[in-house]
Amino acid sequence: MSSRKGLNGTCSVHEYTGTFTGQLVRFKMTSVCGHVEGKGCDYIVLWLDCDKEGENICFEVLDAVLPVMNQAHSSEKTVFRARFSSITDTDICTAMVRLGEPDHNEALSVDARQELDLRIGCAFTRFQTKYFQGKYGNLDSSLISFGPCQTPTLGFCVERHDKIQSFKPETYWVLQAKVDADKDRSLLLDWDRVRVFDREIAQMFLNMTKLEKEAQVEATSRKEKAKQRPLALNTVEMLRVASSSLGMGPQHAMQTAERLYTQGYISYPRTETTHYPESFDLKGPLRQQANHPYWADTVKQLLAEGINRPRKGHDAGDHPPITPMKSATEAELGGEAWRLYEYITRHFIATISHDCKYLQSTISFRIGPERFTCTGKTVISPGFTEIMPWQSVPLEESLPTCQRGDTFAVAEVKMLEKQTSPPDYLTEAELITLMEKHGIGTDASIPVHINNICQRNYVVVESGRRLKPTNLGIVLVHGYYKIDAELVLPTIRSAVEKQLNLIAQGKADYRQVLGHTLDVFKRKFHYFVDSIAGMDELMEVSFSPLAATGKPLSRCGKCHRFMKYIQNGTIKLYKELRCPLDDFELVLWSSGSRGKSYPLCPYCSNHPPFRDMKKASSPVPRAPAALLDVDFNKARSPLPGDGTQHTGCVFCDPIFQELVELKHAASCHPMHRGPGRRQGRGRGRGRRPAGKPGTRRPKDKMSALAAYFV
């Protein structure tokens, strides 16, 4: 095999000789990064990701390749599609033997989704961004985005926020009893009524029980129960666990999983399936882990005793569940990649382990007229919890052996006052569950939507990976509810996703679905534009008008009060200098640490005093510049008679205009003097002819001021 760089000079092209369709051929293996090498080829085998997006890319590649391929074999099949779930020798060889065709229906469903999301998102985003730009000083209106999936995702977060804000705690009372099991141990009993919300009634029950000295056993039970092993791992469950247990955001977890897949450590990470097909080789991946330092003993025991068939889950018909394909150590992967790989491997081993079995014992007591219960659990067989210890049954004290009619001494009966607590903000794991339940996004796009609402500053991620909406996120969702609730509710997007799935299955027409959906959102958009004032009213409550958010900075040259400037970029006083024309304090504006800085006069910036300066669109007439007092020499005075003193504007007064040459003065000032001999040799036709200083015009007002002072 030989390798070389492609036309883009970056990606490699691997060439080798082999057999294909029973004949000797020359293979070219390339990526689709701008050098598909299709010219002169007879056959093409597409190895894109085996999901809908990958199917769509297949047809993009074909659009570029088919026109330049050889047409000698046009009568026979020349386009093939390889389908695989992992990058291992076995899967690659199997896929090469079982080549199929790309699915045009799945590609069309992706086209429809992309066009809908782009057109709908751009229309709403552009309008609301432009509408709110420049209206509120403390609102970051650089991009106020809308998305058919993004907005319902934000809606879930704001809905939980509203429940928290509207929650009113209620006080309730609970009875708690304690009985002596033996000399050194006591049992806490739970009240069968659980709780009551009336203090007097709770006090009545307490009075009926606190005088009792004995608790009588009414019933005992001992049942063997099982905690089921987990279903096979799909994308959504992996993202949930990564967020709740590993502290990884969905977007980052997905990127890490894709990296593990491309390196051959796990199978394809984008799958909705939680069921292994009967033909799937479970022992192969398990044997890969037989010598791992962390779980080798568990794996060897499973191989010796025989694996347990995984539970029957959901078969979406896309890819097998996420499975470890080869062994790896913490030193080999390191960091978050290792933690995610470790969980995937432990989860896989748990799916083919036995259920956890435990014995649950329950004793029912009667104290006076009230009933109380005590429960205990004892593990019989840990099963899969050996490899997933965080799933183990909580350890509880074993209950004493007793039978109906036995009595225990009552140590204490007391009444506890408690309050109901509000729900907490949604975690990323809970949000993923809601999105999956309502059909918002796909297994591949769910992380993107959650990441978008974080980047747009609609929500912030707090401790425990909880998503708390910002003021902007809350106002937007409330505004959508006020104008058109369907823009934020998950129902309409869920219906669109169902139609897109029908396109992928060949049961719906691409054009009809696209046209109908666009027509619905077009009407919604026009109504939204007409009703935007409703959202603006909510914005006024949460954000300050532009004029109220200025910062006192520069002193006015007319009234000598401080002026307010909106903080776009960085504005600060410039060396405490004043403009000689209007006595305003100069300011220095900077676009950032790497941006340019411009000193300017606030008044002259809006009312340019020079003819060649661009005027601002201000209706206020230009104010007069500061007057200059000049005392001329008697011998050279241009004034009539013997006058030597004159007051006037250096730019407007005809006497001063005859005496001041601005262009000549500007060219002589060090700020505008041409570069020295070393730097003065420019290139090309456009360089300034030698010996002609002064042909350069002042670029800005400060240049003109420098000329004035000279």
Active site residues: 268
Q: Hey, what long-range contacts does 118-125 have (CB within 8 A, 24 or more apart)?
A: 119/518, 119/521, 120/146, 120/147, 120/148, 120/518, 120/521, 120/525, 121/145, 121/146, 121/147, 121/148, 121/150, 123/521, 123/525, 124/487, 124/525, 124/528
Handedness of CA 469, 473, 476, 480 (dihedral sign): negative
How are beta strands 370-381 and 356-367 bridged, if at all?
antiparallel
Q: Residue 193 corresponds to which amino acid?
A: R
**CA distance linking residue 307 with residue 365, whole number of Å:** 43
Lookup result for tokens 């294909």: 20
SS3 label, residue 518: helix
Cβ atoms of residues 296 and 290 within 8 Å: yes
**CA distance linking residue 177 with residue 172, whole number of Å:** 17
10 Å CB burial of residue 646 (0-12, 13-18, 19+) is middle
For residue 646, report the phi and psi dihedrals to the nearest 5 degrees. Answer: -150, 140
List CB contacts of 598: < 8 A, sequence separation 6 or more: 588, 589, 590, 700
> Which tokens hold the place of 426?
């949604």
> Which tokens hold the place of 702?
């400060």
DSSP 335-366: HHHHHHHHHHHHHHHHHTSPPEEEEEEEEEEE
> Which tokens hold the place of 481?
């509810």
> Which segments within 432-517 are labelled E, that is strand?
459-462, 466-469
List CB contacts of 33: < 8 A, sequence separation 6 or more: 6, 8, 10, 11
Q: Residue 109 corresponds to which amino acid?
A: S
DSSP 479-494: HHHHH-GGGTSHHHHH
* Cα→Cα distances 12→4, 39, 69, 476, 606, Å: 6, 17, 20, 48, 57
Residue 294: which of 167, 183, 387, 226 has the closest Cα? 387
Residue 311: which of 276, 283, 284 has the closest Cα? 276
> Which tokens hold the place of 262?
């491309």
> Which tokens hold the place of 468?
């708390």
Q: Count the Cβ atoms, other than its own, within 10 Å of residue 361.
A: 19
Lookup result for tokens 């490899």: 387
Q: Count the Cβ atoms, other than its own, within 10 Å of residue 179.
A: 23
For residue 16, report the phi and psi dihedrals to the nearest 5 degrees. Answer: -155, 165
Query: Buried b / exposed e across 241-263, counting CB within 10 Å, b at 16+?
Result: bbbbebebbbbbbbebbbebbeb
List CB contacts of 627: < 8 A, sequence separation 6 or more: 647, 648, 649
Query: Buried b / exposed e across 603-617, counting CB within 10 Å, b at 16+?
Result: bbbebbbbeeeeeee
Chain centroid to Cα 425, Å, comes to 17
For residue 201, give the DSSP letter.
Answer: H
10 Å CB burial of residue 583 (0-12, 13-18, 19+) is middle
